Structure 1
Amino acid sequence: MRLTRSDKWLHAFIYVFLILLALITFYPFWNSLAISFNVGSDTATGGITFWPRKFTLENYQIVFKEKNIYNAYFITIARTLLGTFAAMFFTSLFAYALSKKGIVFKKTYMILCVVTMYFSGGLIPYFVLVYNLHLYNTFTFLIIHGMVNVYNMIIFRTFFQELPEGLEESARIDGCSNFGVFFRIVLPISGPVMATLGLFTAVTLWNDWFTPAVFISDQSLIPLQTQLVQIVNSGTTSTMIANLSTYAQSAVQGSVTVKSIQMATMMVATLPILLIYPFLQKYFVKGAMVGSMKE
């Protein structure tokens, strides 16, 4: 099909607009990266845009000399891996049960689930419940919080409803139970939707700072993002330096500022999950669409 001159101008405008939009979206991250590699005292004078004016690794040296950063990394990685696994397992299992015909009170269960998407008991009742269950200030709470997501359950349920009934019937003829059908037949062919929702869940858990800030007071259980928020909210150089280790305090001189350490910590907390994204991006459209075509 041959494009007319007006079509070519329209295509050119769309490409230019999308490129500008991508640059505007990407610039804040790139600027933060440049500041993290720049001398803090020089950054305070302003003018850092795309490249560090005075390159240094001192900001990252101070961040990685902090003992808390490694423990926070471990807590964040462990929570993300275990929380994502638990969420995918229990959410898919719940969705598979609700996808079957003939379930007693099936519509009632769905109504109760959907109601929770729009209404909650509130933060204070939830805090009281967690405290009375002896889950406050525990790593177990970080795993089970939000373990069953209703939105993900609906997508799982829709995907399972689209599977051919012959698959399950043939498995039952071979003697498979309900759990056998689920683990041997359903899960192996649920890769795209499992990868998509699993990545969304992992990103949510990795970036979640509010929940640990409210329900975790033990500093040894604080995840990386919550620690980053504490650093960002430290306010002044003296407050932040007081929270650093002895080595870091001795390393902080006039060349390091709160903003430079904030940017370095932000990069350390953000880059790992960004590096994982491209490898699972191919599952996004396929997985999300496969579970949303029918309801």
Structure 2
Amino acid sequence: MITLNRRTKGEVVFDIVNNIGMLCICFVTLYPIWYVLINAFNDGKDAMLGGIYWFPRKFSLENFSAVFDSPGIMRAMWLTVAKTLLGVGLHVFFTAMVAYAFSRRELIGGKFYILLGTITMIFAGGLIPTYLLIRDLHLLENFLVYIIPVMFSFFDLIIFMTFFRDIPDGLEEAARIDGANDWSIFLRVVLPVSLPVLATIALFHGVYQWNDYFTGMIYMNNESMQPIQTFLYRVVAQSSSNLMMTAVQGSAVTRTVTSQSIKLATMVVTTLPIVFAYPFLQRYFVKGMMIGSIKG
């Protein structure tokens, strides 16, 4: 005889309250994004009248036309794409390479090195010493300032190291029997089976590289070498119509766009690449986030 598992009244009420609470959290999280999106697609002067909450009142693409017609914005966009792709590739490879060495239990002085790295996670030199170091390394006004200082992260090393230690020793032993050295094992055995952690770190650092405005603001006086987020920062910090009209000069649509509409359109343009990239990495990201949480 099959006994039906009837839910109690308290469980039903809990589920209802829980679902309502989650819907409220989702709404509070997503509505600001939706608000920016609908105002970016609305006519700039019409948006200044207010009252736009759910859908564009006067649909227009002129804000985005002004964004893409500006050579300064597009140059900043391409610079951001270049530094993100190059920075992510070098960061993932270099950090994974060091983490593989740290994951070897036979590494002499391994615990001491980990202790030194842990100290750097807790204590930092500060902005002024960092600026002086960047200056002495001749990285001011240099594209490599976006790449070299963040090419290694000890926090990401810990994630890599935890994953590498869970790789069965039999894979490496079989490779060594076939005559493979450490480099061959790392490149041909370890990295191919580490896609979850590679995608996780790539997503973490990719979001950082794409959203980083501070580096361009501090170490770059030449606006042609500043990324899109630094450009957006200047737009927000100096939100005057004169600045925005200068940013979109030469555009035929400057009659209807406003500084606020340009800011919103620029925010959408700078956010979409990360939003589109995340679904392709999500399945690896979920696996990577579970690293070290389950043993056996």
Which TM-score bucket, shorter chain as reference?
over 0.9
| Residues 159, 292 of structure 1: 8 Å contact kept | no
| Residues 239, 260 of structure 2: 8 Å contact kept | no
Map of 1:223 onto structure 2: 227
Instruction: String of CA shifts for 1:108-159, please: whole Å, max 9, x gaps.
Output: 1101111111111111111111111111111112122211111110010011
| Residues 158, 292 of structure 1: 8 Å contact kept | no
| Residues 193, 291 of structure 1: 8 Å contact kept | no
Does residue 1:171 correspond to 2:175, yes or no? yes
Compute the TM-score of the two structures, normalised by the length of structure 1: 0.94
Matched letter for residue 93 of structure 2: F
Compute the TM-score of the two structures, normalised by the length of structure 2: 0.94
SS at match of 1:281: helix
| Residues 155, 292 of structure 1: 8 Å contact kept | no
SS at match of 2:150: coil
Map of 2:271 onto structure 1: 270
Does residue 1:100 correspond to 2:101, yes or no? no
Map of 1:41 onto structure 2: 45
Q: Which of 199, 203, 210 is equivalent to 2:207?
A: 203
Give the Cα separation in 1 of the matches to 2:165 and 2:92: 17
Give the Cα separation in 1 of the matches to 2:7 and 2:222: 64
The alignment's C-alpha RMSD in Å is: 1.5
Give the Cα separation in 2 of the matches to 1:16 and 1:264: 32
Map of 1:110 onto structure 2: 114
Structure 1 stretch 77-86 or stretch 97-106: which is displaced more?
A: 97-106
Structure 1 stretch 277-286 or stretch 149-158: which is displaced more?
A: 277-286
Map of 1:12 onto structure 2: 16
Number of residue pairs the alignment of both structures matches: 291
Q: Where does structure 1 differ by over 3 angstroms across 4 or more consecutive aligned residues? A: 291-294
Give the Cα separation in 2 of the matches to 1:243 and 1:256: 12
| Residues 248, 254 of structure 2: 8 Å contact kept | no
Give the Cα separation in 2 of the matches to 1:40 and 1:112: 53
| Residues 171, 189 of structure 2: 8 Å contact kept | yes
Map of 2:281 onto structure 1: 280
Q: Which runs of 5+ in 2 are unaligned?
A: none
Give the Cα separation in 2 of the matches to 1:112 and 1:167: 30
| Residues 96, 160 of structure 1: 8 Å contact kept | yes
